[in-house]
Structure 1
Amino acid sequence: MSGRAAPVGSQELAELYAAHRLALVRMALLLVDHRAEAEDVVHDAFASVLGRTLRDPDAVVGYLRTAVVNGCRSTLRRRRTARGYTPPVDTGPAPPDERAVLAEDHREVLAALDTLPARQREVLVLRYWSGLSEAEIAETLGIGRGTVKSTASRALDALEKVITITQETR
């Protein structure tokens, strides 16, 4: 996008959508663990950009990432409220496309990732899945760079413990 301060048009949005939708859906899927919800969150983020005049049009991808993370948080909050204390229902086997993506060695990491608190999971997903820098993560989550570093460190330690315990019980 150019450095002009004009509303985001449908053509620009279509180009952004083509370039960034898949990466944002993957990121959202790791945060909400349900494909339809992840896609809804991403579509809502793109819809929120249409017609908006952004102070820095070059930062629209960062805006979209932040909108997706916040949308995932809202989705999880609504889900938690709806469920109360009822445990989640097993939805059965994953579709073939998801099974291909989730090779056996990755399932263990994803299961361990699900045990982390939301903030730690968000930091790790943004860092290692989306490849964001500490500064970009801090901006996306609205926290300091030091908080990103310490949260990532604690999250990696927790993941290592969970994976070690899982491997020892085999």
Structure 2
Amino acid sequence: MPVIAPMPAARPARIPSPRDGADETVAAGTTVDHLTETYRAHYRSLLGLAALLLDDTASCEDVVQEAFIRVHSARKRVRDPEKTLAYLRQTVVNLSRSALRRRILGLKLLSKPMPDMASAEEGAYDQLERDALIKAMKGLQRRQREVLVLRYFADMTEAQVAETLGISLGSVKAYGSRGIAALRGAMGASA
């Protein structure tokens, strides 16, 4: 009696998706049901794998979810459903590496503070002092404010201030001394 080799089992060319009952069909490969079962059975182990590679839970969860999404979108290429878990593991490892690379690059690109740079507390204190000074300056008479701004902020000499404002040198000295006295009083009262 002649031996007849059995015909290989024909794989279905199209498998309907039970997920939404629509006409969506999938070529031969990993089915959505198989991927869902794999998700339920191996999510925790894949999360543990990601935790060994990454340091925070949120990143681990993101990596595992992204791995399932990528394998789901490429499920037609996974010919052997038994290899789905292997693809998922490799995807988790690759995505973890990418996450670490992005972190390292981000750390390299961060600007480093200068060693003599003021701390945040000092910066906040300086800002409060500036705000108080501006408020006190607004409370001065117009000529006193003009003289002080030109003399101390624009770094002009008394003669240059007198020429700019069109007043005498004595007036510049008088407005300046009265303005400083008024500023001291205002700054001392706000402190």
Give the TM-score of the pair, scaled to structure 1.
0.45
Give the TM-score of the pair, scaled to structure 2.
0.40
Larger Rg: 2
